[in-house]
Amino acid sequence: MKKNIFTRNFKLAGLLSLVLLASCKKDELESRELLVFLQPDKPGLATKTQIVPFVHNPVAITGNRIVEVAAAASREVPAEIKVTITPDTKLIPAYNLLNKTTALELPATAYQVTNGNTHTISAGSVKSDPIKIEITHPELLTSTAGYLLPLTITSIETKDKGVTTSSTHATVYLLVTYEYNNVATTEIPLTGTLMSRTGWSTTVSNTTSGALGPAMIDGNNTTSWRSSNSTTAVKWAIINMGSVQTIKGFQIVPNYVAVAENATRMTVSTSTDNVTWTVQGTWNGSGPAATSSATAPDIKGVNFVAPVAAQYFRFDITALVSGGRVGFGEVNAIQ
């Protein structure tokens, strides 16, 4: 019996040692060692990924072209440390496997390091001057998978022999993302000529009895298309203009049958044949003002940055004021 107890206690002690070892590795930056690591320009170190977003449309590309990453120390350094940081594209496959992504290598023709690879953590400091990476040609980066640039500490130079490179945070991954969004950020409606809706038709995902799709083009603000009340069913509406038209945007009269049943986010897509669709972008808006009504509507603008030529316009509603039902009072187009 004593032998069994001894064996069991020995096994428990071994297990505890493994747990403590794993814990130390996880919390490496909180150890007593003076460690040098890379700090993403964002709160927290858990992901070790710095996202660099670019939004494209036919008129412009928006995003921060200059990215900064600094070397940091786990505490104030007693002596100057020179840190060399270099790209290491060999790490991309492992990153994709771990994060279940398919990011591509950031092409060397699309970026440059503007201020050298070696940076200094001065004595008495905890952070270096930043390494600056400029995205020189974002127009080349059009994959929705994104583009990855791993930056790794390859060497440190200091008179302090107690400094080591972190084994878990020596790399920061710059993930340059691509988004196409031809939908303007404002919900203020465009002014201009309202297109005649003669020949228009509608198709919708689902309905509530007495509130069918044609209600959104009947010229009556007091009627509305209203979807089903399911919280899980998809909600969308398609406008068929009968022929290809060039449109600057839409004016949408909210659903005043039930003001809580209005969209706050939609994906807007276009097609010339109702088969092949082009996503124009995402619209983010708000529900109707409390002071508005069917007779004095709070008209919402769904505006294109650059005009779009299409016959079919689809609105996939992905967020709404509340509940499960959503709808439109009227939909008009601006030419």
Please say whether the beta carbons of 207 and 261 come within 8 A.
no
Q: What is the pLDDT of residue 43?
A: 55
Half-sphere exposure in the Cβ direction for 329 (13 Å, CA): 25
Over its length of 335 residues, how does the chain's per-residue pLDDT go in tens digits?
A: 444 433 444 444 444 344 333 444 444 555 568 999 998 876 555 668 999 999 999 999 999 999 999 999 999 999 999 999 999 999 999 999 999 999 999 999 999 999 999 999 999 999 999 999 999 999 999 999 999 999 999 999 999 989 999 999 999 999 999 999 999 999 999 998 999 999 999 999 999 999 999 999 999 999 999 999 999 999 999 999 999 999 999 999 999 999 999 999 999 999 999 999 999 999 999 999 999 999 999 999 999 999 999 999 999 999 999 999 999 999 999 99
Choose among 180, 310, 307: nearest CA to 240.
310
Ordered DSSP codes for 71-130: EEESS--SS-EEEEEEE-GGGHHHHHHHHT--PEEPPGGGEEESS-SEEEE-TT-SBPPP
CATH number 2.60.120.260 given to 201-334: yes
| Protein fold of 29-180 | Immunoglobulin-like (2.60.40)
Residue 207: partners with Cβ closer than 8 Å, 6 or more residues away: 213, 225, 226, 227, 228
Residue 301: partners with Cβ closer than 8 Å, 6 or more residues away: 184, 186, 187, 188, 189, 190, 249, 250, 251, 252
Look at strands 81-87 and 118-121 and give their pairing. antiparallel
Q: What is the pLDDT of residue 179?
A: 96
Q: What is the pLDDT of residue 266?
A: 98
Residues carrying CATH 2.60.120.260, the chain: 201-334
Residues carrying CATH 2.60.40.1510, the chain: 29-180
